[in-house]
Amino acid sequence: MNPVVTAVLLIVAFAAFAVSVRRRWRLLMIGSAGRRRFVPDRVGERARGAVRFVLGQTRLTRYRGAGLAHEAIFFAFVVLLVRSLILFARGFVGDPGFGYWILDGGTPLGNLYGLIKDVYVVLAVLGALTFLYLRLVVRPHRMTLNAEGILILVIILVMMVADVVYDGAAHVLAAGPDGPRFNGWEPLGSVLAGPMSGLPAAAVGTVWHLAFWTHVTLVLVFLNILPYSKHFHIITVVPNVFLRDLGPRGRLVPIDDLEGRVEREETLGVRRIEELSPKSLLDLYTCTECGRCTDQCPAARTGKLLSPKQLVVDLRDHLYENQAGLTGRRRDGANAAHESDLVPAVVDPETLWACTTCGACEEECPVLIDHVERIVDLRRHLVQEKGEFPGPLQEAFGSIEAVGSPYGVSADERMAWADGLEVPIRGDTDDVEILFWVGCAPATDDRAKRISSAVAQLLNRAGVRWAVLGAEESCTGDVARRAGNEYLFQAMAEANIEILDGYDTKRILTACPHCYNTLKHEYPDFGGHYEVAHHADFLAGLIADGRLVPRRAVEATVVYHDSCYLGRLNGVYASPREVLERIPGVTVVEAAASRDRGMCCGAGGGQMFKEDEPGDERISVARTRQLVETGADTICTACPFCLRMLTDASNLGDQTGIRQLDIAEVLWQSIRGEGEPEGASSEVRSDRV
Ligand code: SF4
Ligand code: SF4
């Protein structure tokens, strides 16, 4: 070995790497500070998450084959990092028999390391071959075939082969031509030593040198490719996971000081790339281009233009291509592309408006990239500054503003759902343990009204002391917020909080996951702090406490559809199923895509009030087909938006034979007494008591 060459290689490689990292760091720092914390709090929790998601590879095995292959390569790199350090040391010292490292062969620890290292060499080769097979032969839609990905895999394979060849040659040189051949602690090298022992010593020495220089050079080449490739995630994944948003999954970060920003003529939302936060830019650095987000995205799966992966890649390419202009190194105007608006220069508006904010992409992403926040930020600029958004949303915004409901139903009609029912109004009574926040859909949509009716009757039957706000209730603003109208959302939030606090509200019950998410996770940012329950949890609790006893058999084979805002974003999976399973006669079956892998119905993110963006089919139709394929005769939901979307979708296609009901409707059917109104549940066969 040659200490001078080793030293020069190391100095040149690390100097080049330092220059690249500095460039990336400067680019990261153009991000708009303050939009997301870059100085971390809750350090212990963050560190535990980094260990779980990075070392534990928690998300990777959701795709079993690719996940196991990635695990093999990841842990091989960890193990072989030690090997590389040993080899660099040998570049300075040179003697293959020199046993100065505790992990070098010959010591007990060294022997153990040698064996483990060989196991991981095999695993890394298998992992790399699996990825080559996936990329070149299987070619799943989610993966992009590019030269960089193949190059990295070839480098890994060559490094592994060089490592084994190095061991084999070292074995022959150390033991001599007649020495022992097989060493169980270095099985791969000693197997190779057999054929090599017949070569002249000089030739073995040359092979040994070649293998050594191949390994150390490729390590340094690999290091320098990283900052310019998707494999940069090897370096950025730990900080990206560490700096992740620890807030509730369903919460959007508010635009602070909206009025002040308007006065100062600052951008509302994100218009240009530098208006993304440093954390958001770090997300772009960290994307591995695995395509899992796109694979699970309901918009992408139904042929819409939106691909969350492509969105990230496009933004990253734009960022890198405009490095000089963004970091101020070029002031001649020749690189002014970064000054153009991201929409439409980099992002097609159709892409943005296809998102349902369902969170499937974020659930899947192995490196915890936030997609929804960025998409909503881009919408915010379009809506609040440019006035560019799908026409039907204008109607919804206008109705919320005018009458407090995206359905355009005025406040004095908001109690029509309660006709004939015993429904206490909060303004008329103080004897209230929990406020029932009805929500715009269950209060005003003809189909969803039957949900609020069932809930009201169940609350009365359980003896709950409850009340509704009645005409004082307004839209929470969820639709406006997710569609980018933060200004309208904040106005609604402030007005609602004033009313809720005026009644000294502590506990709220709602049958709408969107209201639930907003009241629970977003109103605290505006001073509204409440204990919020979704009716799935609340009804399950009433059954568990014996306050509701399902007795009447309801003959139905039910598939439960998980609402994204209840399930994925709030982790409520068990209680709706518990409610259904407690009803005699009900058999619950599962869709292949359910719980955190459940497919969105297509309503969230403002989609409920506009048409799907162009694509192969409606999201709701695709989801209904999945549910029908279970053989169930009834689709159950715990969300008025889902219920409406899936009901409409069933009527659109060849899926008309299936019923759609909220869990509260089925439960009421089982609990109601003789002569009490059946409500919507009359569609369910109820023939035994
Ligand atoms: S939130 Fe849902 S619809 Fe939007 S990009 Fe992610 S997976 Fe697609
Ligand atoms: S955003 Fe996440 S899931 Fe999507 S391609 Fe990038 S790393 Fe994969």
Q: What is the distance between the terminal CA atoms of the chain, rounded to a whole angstrom?
A: 88
Residues 418 and 454: beta-carbon distance below 8 Å: no
Residues 541 and 668: beta-carbon distance below 8 Å: no
Q: Which of 312, 313, 314, 375 to mutate for ligand 2's pocket (most ligand atoms within 8 Å of CB)? A: 312
Residues whose CB falls within 8 Å of the CB of residue 465, separated by 6 or more in sequence, listed in order: 431, 432, 433, 434
Distance from the alpha carbon of residue 569 to the mean position of ligand 1, in angstroms? 12
Q: For ligand 2, say whether the CB of 312 is within 6 Å of any of its atoms.
A: yes
Q: For ligand 2, say whether the CB of 309 is within 6 Å of any of its atoms.
A: yes
Q: What is the pLDDT of residues 509-566, one digit of tens each?
A: 999 999 999 999 999 999 999 999 999 999 999 999 999 999 999 999 999 999 999 9
Whole-angstrom CA distances from 211 to 166, 215, 231 are 5, 6, 24
Distance CA 375, CA 444 (A): 29
Q: For ligand 2, say whether the CB of 315 is within 6 Å of any of its atoms.
A: no
Q: Which atom of ligand 2 is nearest the CA belonging to 313?
A: 6
Q: What is the pLDDT of residues 228-265, one digit of tens each?
A: 999 999 999 999 999 999 999 999 999 999 989 989 98
Q: For ligand 2, say whether the CB of 536 is within 6 Å of any of its atoms.
A: no
Distance from the alpha carbon of residue 367 to the mean position of ligand 2, in angstroms? 7
Residues 96 and 90: beta-carbon distance below 8 Å: yes
Given this model, what pLDDT does residue 137 score? Answer: 95
Distance from the alpha carbon of residue 294 to the mean position of ligand 2, in angstroms? 8
Ligand 1: list residues with CB < 6 Å.
297-299, 306, 308, 355-361, 371-372
Q: Is the dihedral of CA 304, 310, 316, 320 positive or negative?
A: negative
Distance from the alpha carbon of residue 647 to the mean position of ligand 1, in angstroms? 22
Q: For ligand 2, say whether the CB of 362 is within 6 Å of any of its atoms.
A: no
Q: Whose CA is nearest to atom 2 of ligand 2?
A: 365
Q: Whose CA is nearest to atom 6 of ligand 1?
A: 361
Ligand nearest to the CA of 613: 1
Whole-angstrom CA distances from 27 to 185, 225, 231, 328 are 47, 18, 18, 10
pLDDT band at 682 (very low <50, low <70, confident <90, very high): very low
pLDDT band at 323 (very low <50, low <70, confident <90, very high): very high
Q: Report, as an integer, the average pLDDT of 482-502.
A: 98
| Position 500 pLDDT exceeds 70 | yes
Distance from the alpha carbon of residue 372 to the mean position of ligand 1, in angstroms? 7
Q: Whose CA is nearest to atom 3 of ligand 1?
A: 355
Residues 552 and 689: beta-carbon distance below 8 Å: yes
Residues whose CB falls within 8 Å of the CB of residue 638, separated by 6 or more in sequence, listed in order: 511, 513, 534, 535, 536, 560, 563, 566, 576, 662, 663, 664
Given this model, what pLDDT does residue 515 score? Answer: 98
Given this model, what pLDDT does residue 76 score? Answer: 96
pLDDT band at 497 (very low <50, low <70, confident <90, very high): very high
| Position 80 pLDDT exceeds 90 | yes
Distance from the alpha carbon of residue 312 to the mean position of ligand 2, in angstroms? 8
- CA-based radius of gyration for the chain: 30
Residues whose CB falls within 8 Å of the CB of residue 129, separated by 6 or more in sequence, listed in order: 157
Q: Report, as an integer, the average pLDDT of 634-646.
A: 97
Beta bridge partners of 436: 509
Distance from the alpha carbon of residue 293 to the mean position of ligand 1, in angstroms? 8
pLDDT band at 179 (very low <50, low <70, confident <90, very high): low
Ligand nearest to the CA of 376: 1
Given this model, what pLDDT does residue 373 score? Answer: 96
Structural domains for the chain = 40-242 (1.20.950), 258-386 (1.10.1060), 404-542 (3.40.50), 545-683 (3.40.50)
Given this model, what pLDDT does residue 89 score? Answer: 85
Q: Whose CA is nearest to atom 1 of ligand 1?
A: 357
Q: Which atom of ligand 2 is nearest the CA belonging to 312?
A: 1
Q: Whose CA is nearest to atom 7 of ligand 1?
A: 297
Where residue 424 falls (left for φ over 0; alpha for ψ -120 to 50; beta otherwise) is beta
Given this model, what pLDDT does residue 654 score? Answer: 63
Q: Whose CA is nearest to atom 3 of ligand 2?
A: 365
Distance CA 270, CA 311 (A): 14
Distance CA 300, CA 294 (A): 6
Given this model, what pLDDT does residue 674 score? Answer: 75
Q: For ligand 2, say whether the CB of 559 is within 6 Å of any of its atoms.
A: no
- Span of 99-108, 148-157, 311-320, 358-367 with lowest mean pLDDT: 99-108
Reported as type and span, the H/E element at residue 115 is: helix 108-133
Q: Whose CA is nearest to atom 6 of ligand 2?
A: 287
